Amino acid sequence: MNDLVIRDGLIVDGTGRPGYHGDISIKDGRLSTVGGKAEGGRREINAAGRLVTPGFVDIHTHYDGQVTWDPLLAPSSLHGVTTAVMGNCGVGFAPVHPDKRDWIISLMEAVEDIPAATLRKGIPWSWESFPEYLDMLDTLPRSIDIGAQATHASIRTYVMGERGAANEPATSDELDRMAASVRQAMQAGALGFTSSRSTLQRTSDGKHTPGYGVPVEEIIALGRVLGDLRKGSIGLNVDFEDVDREIHWLRRLRRETGRPVWFLLAQFPDSPDKYKNVLAQVARASSEGEPLFAQVAGRPVGFLLGLESSKNPFVSRPSYKAIAHLPLAERVARLRGADFRRQLLSERTRHNSVIMRSITERFDLMFRLGDPPNYEPGPETSIAAQASLQGRPADEVALEILLERDGREMLFMPGANYAAGDFSDIQNMLAHPNTIMGLSDAGAHCGLVCDSSMPTFMLTHWARDRKRGPKLALEEVVRAQTSTTAAFYGLQDRGMLHPGLKADVNVIDFDRLRLHAPEMQYDLPADGRRLMQRVEGYAATIVSGEITLENDQATGTLPGKLIRGPRGATASVSASGQQLR
């Protein structure tokens, strides 16, 4: 007798092969049979007319704090994610000296927009070293599997103190101690090492994060630890101000460590074709035996501007600042008053920050989000374009929209990956043989971004609903989020529906799969806020053979485990295994 049988579903197994109908049986947390007619089970799920996929493997999350208090790890667990990798962008919570806990909290708040009050109240500090952090995580129940990476900022600050935080050069002794810390983390089960050299990421006082601008030799020295141990990947945030120079040292990093090297890649409006140059050089490096990989997103990286969000177009105007502390309902009432609105709309604030100038002035880059949300809006639907048609000021139209749904409507402002006003450049990135899916940032940017729904979005938009360009094959969309991401981290025991592999499975009502508009919730510790995006259409999510989500509702079953190191031989990701067609 099987523990669980999934009957008559459309099996899209994560390899990219065409889907086929059949049964799946599960026993002792593993897939027993895939396809054909299975014997009976103690529990059976009727999947007729439904899609059956491997559980999604999200390799770019920031659950480093949330994982210590939240067993559900939502929103990810609501969107078919069964494995999440955290410790990205070079920031994390271990190792840390007890007297530096508040500093590392403030760093995470500044870089990843996770409320400091939430982290202070929610994190049950009981560790100093990275192995102690993993040991603590190993004791906690959760709905999905979680893996962690060693982070440069925490290690540098732990070893060097204020000098490390200030990005002063490391002495040879300090470099040896950092390398020892990386080795300790990798031996304890870290899946990789990450660092950031991006000027966009700053501390709360505007300084660069630890690791920014340090000599390349430091990154390579720490990366050699992974090479010596022959496991783990190396991930970086890089600005690519000089593409030739950056690719040169990334190739050197790959060559001298022998480990998979990846970096974040997005298209920015001030240099819309730079990503093409980056990918062309990546392809050349790979053809010459030094493969590099770019981690890319499946939709624009953008802001959700609203009256409950961290930012909106009026946030710096004096009249709005005077009421910003009021509860939403009171703010809405004041904003609807004719005299108050007239005064607010007459005010202007000039910002030096490019980001703040865009948020407060670039109405040509803002769109009504809507419900269901529209992440590929046409230029003619921008706030500026609509205002022009109506013969009204753009900020007046924006305010009117923000007041809809009792002040809960949002404006979508694509910040990256939308220079052409459609998804054509995103499609170019997804199709490249040296890109991997990521950048959901789940667990981070709580008040401004909600891209943790990316796995669902890839199915609904790219594989089913897209109208402003070609769709992508369903089988390739599934593969990009399952076997490809799992293999990159050496997790050979998951990501495909094959007998003997871990029974992480989604049963999805594909035809009625629907993303709701993001909404602000105040359910984090210390009443912290976060954007939550709910979904309809997940008939079941199964982790290690146990049903954790049923009909879009958590069951309370918590089979998730901490992943310590790769599962099986570490895989190199083949080019053909990456491409989305």
Q: What pLDDT is recorded for position 204? A: 85
- Collapse the DSSP code of 96 into the 3-class scheme (helix H, G, I; strand E, B; otherwise coil) and give the result: coil
pLDDT at 242 over 50: yes
> Is the confidence at residue 86, as pLDDT, over 60?
yes
| pLDDT-derived band at 78, boundaries 50, 70, 90 | very high
pLDDT of residue 103: 96
Average pLDDT of the chain to the nearest whole number: 96
pLDDT on residue 497? 98
Instruction: Indicate the domain borders of the chain.
Output: 2-53+498-557, 57-300+418-491, 303-411
- The pLDDT assigned to 577 comes to 38
Mean per-residue pLDDT, 50-76: 98
Residue 398 has pLDDT above 90, yes or no: yes
C-alpha angle 251-252-255 in degrees, rounded to nearest 5? 85
| CATH superfamily, region 57-300+418-491 | Metal-dependent hydrolases (3.20.20.140)
* Confidence bin at 575 (pLDDT 50/70/90): very low
Give the global pTM.
0.96
Given a cut of 80, whether residue 178 has pLDDT beyond it is yes
pLDDT (0 to 100) of residue 568: 67
Crossing angle (nearest 10°) for helices 152-160 and 101-112: 150
How many residues does this entry show for the chain?
A: 581
pLDDT digits (tens, 9 = 90+) for 514-535: 999 999 999 999 999 999 999 9
57-300+418-491 shares the fold of 2-53+498-557: no
DSSP annotation of 458: I
* Confidence tier at 574 by pLDDT (50, 70, 90): very low
Distances, alpha carbon 26 to alpha carbons 23, 33, 328, 547, in Å:
10, 7, 48, 11
Q: Which of 229, 238, 323, 243 is nearest to 277 (CA)?
A: 243
Is pLDDT at 578 greater than 90 in this prediction?
A: no
Query: What does the pLDDT average to over 278-294?
Result: 98
pLDDT one-digit tens code per residue, 322-357: 999 999 999 999 999 999 999 999 999 889 888 999
Instruction: Give the right CATH number for 2-53+498-557 from 3.20.20.450, 3.40.50.300, 2.30.40.10, 2.60.200.20.
Output: 2.30.40.10
Residue 211 scores a pLDDT above 80? yes
Residue 22 has pLDDT above 70, yes or no: yes
Phi and psi torsions of 451, nearest 5°? -105, 10
Portion of the chain with pLDDT greater than 90, in percent = 96
pLDDT of residue 580 exceeding 50, the answer is no
Mean pLDDT of 63-74: 98
Q: Which of 386, 454, 379, 447 is nearest to 414 (CA)?
A: 379
Say if CB 121 and CB 184 are below 8 A apart: no
Burial class, 241, CB count within 10 angstroms (exposed 0-12 / middle 13-18 / buried 19+): exposed
